[in-house]
């Protein structure tokens, strides 16, 4: 293993969290992307979490958000 790498437990380095459910009826017009398994599906006025963050789905990495 390279000296740049450390052996660790993933839960000590990052927090993994399931997403949030929001229906179209609950959404208000805004600039915050609402990300689903098919990508950005709409926009809302309030973020559920503060970035940076990574959105993962079962098969692939969708987006990396920095704000």
For residue range 9-67, list pLDDT tens digits in order.
988 988 888 888 999 999 999 999 998 878 889 999 999 988 888 887 665 555 566 65
The three state secondary structure string of the chain is: CCCCCCCCCHHHHCCCCCCCCCCHHHCCCCCEEEEECCEEEEEECCCCCCCCEEEECCCCEEEEECC
pTM of the model: 0.64
Q: Which residues contact 40 (CB under 8 A, 6 or more apart)?
A: 33, 34, 63
User: Is 52 domain-assigned?
Assistant: yes
Work out how many domains the chain is built from and give that number.
Answer: 1
User: Is 59 domain-assigned?
Assistant: yes
pLDDT for residue 36: 84
CA distance 31 to 1: 43
Range of the domain at 31: 10-65
User: Is 28 domain-assigned?
Assistant: yes
User: Is 41 domain-assigned?
Assistant: yes
User: Is 31 domain-assigned?
Assistant: yes
User: Is 5 domain-assigned?
Assistant: no
User: Is 15 domain-assigned?
Assistant: yes
């Amino acid at each position: 293993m390279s000296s740049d790498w450390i052996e660790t437990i993933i839960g000590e380095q990052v927090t993994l969290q399931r997403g949030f459910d929001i229906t179209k009826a609950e959404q208000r017009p805004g600039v915050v992307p609402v990300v689903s398994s098919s990508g950005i599906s709409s926009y809302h006025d309030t973020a559920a979490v503060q970035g940076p963050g990574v959105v993962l789905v079962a098969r692939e990495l969708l987006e990396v958000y920095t704000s």
